[in-house]
């Protein structure tokens, strides 16, 4: 290690050698990357960024490599873990970034608040065109959420009749609503 006189800049003099960093990476890089991959929930890009930042910290602090410890791995893992925590906190404290893709896709899903009310009115008008029996079956099965057997019990008709009326009632309802939503 190069000694630096008091008051001198320590930018280059107090940095780890390339050979020491290469050896550090060779010995611990694979394990460190696996550790970081777990901390980032499999995000390879984030894990690589954190690995690089950890190695930069080792480069900036060569005194950490000149200890009597048998391995640098605990120090590297501690630094990496702290960097991952700091990065996560920083991400969570920032507002979400909005990209053009997000803006375009969200514009597609914006719905008119009046549209559901109009749909209800259209379905009510279409239901009025159905026979009393067909309307009763749809109300029990679809609007009240009863099973076929429960609707049959309420309407006092066989389950097969409930199924048949439901089929024909839906066909009639589709016909009554034909063209709905095509203007727009």
pLDDT one digit per residue (tens) for the chain, 184 residues: 444 444 444 444 456 678 888 888 888 889 999 999 888 888 899 999 999 999 888 888 877 777 777 788 888 899 999 999 888 888 888 776 666 665 565 555 556 667 777 777 888 888 888 899 999 999 899 888 999 999 999 999 999 999 999 999 999 888 888 766 554 4
Among 184, 80, 73, which residue's Cα sits nearest to residue 122?
Answer: 184
Q: Does the model's pTM come out above 0.75?
A: no
| Inter-residue contact 11 to 26 (CB < 8 Å) | no
| Cβ neighbours of residue 145 closer than 8 Å, sequence gap 6 or more | none
Domains defined for the chain, CATH in brackets: 18-93 (1.10.1740), 115-176 (1.10.10.10)
Structure tokens at 49: 């960024």
| N-to-C CA span, the chain | 75
d(C-alpha 170, C-alpha 107), whole Å = 32
């Amino acid at each position: 290690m190069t000694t630096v006189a008091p008051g001198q800049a320590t930018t280059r003099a107090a940095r780890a050698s390339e050979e020491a960093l290469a050896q550090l990476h060779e010995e611990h890089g694979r394990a460190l990357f696996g550790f970081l991959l777990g901390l980032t929930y499999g995000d390879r890009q984030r894990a690589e960024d954190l690995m690089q930042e950890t190695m930069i910290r080792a480069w900036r602090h060569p005194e950490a490599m000149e200890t009597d410890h048998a391995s640098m791995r605990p120090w590297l893992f501690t630094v990496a873990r702290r960097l991952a925590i700091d990065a996560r906190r920083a991400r969570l404290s920032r507002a979400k970034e909005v990209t053009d893709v997000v803006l375009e896709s969200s514009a597609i899903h914006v719905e008119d608040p009046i549209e559901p009310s109009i749909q209800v009115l259209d379905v009510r008008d279409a239901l009025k065109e159905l026979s009393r029996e067909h309307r009763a079956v749809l109300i029990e099965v679809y609007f009240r959420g009863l099973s076929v057997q429960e609707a049959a019990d309420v309407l006092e008709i066989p389950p097969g009749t409930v199924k048949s009326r439901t089929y024909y009632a839906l066909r009639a309802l589709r016909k009554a609503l034909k063209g709905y939503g095509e203007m727009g």
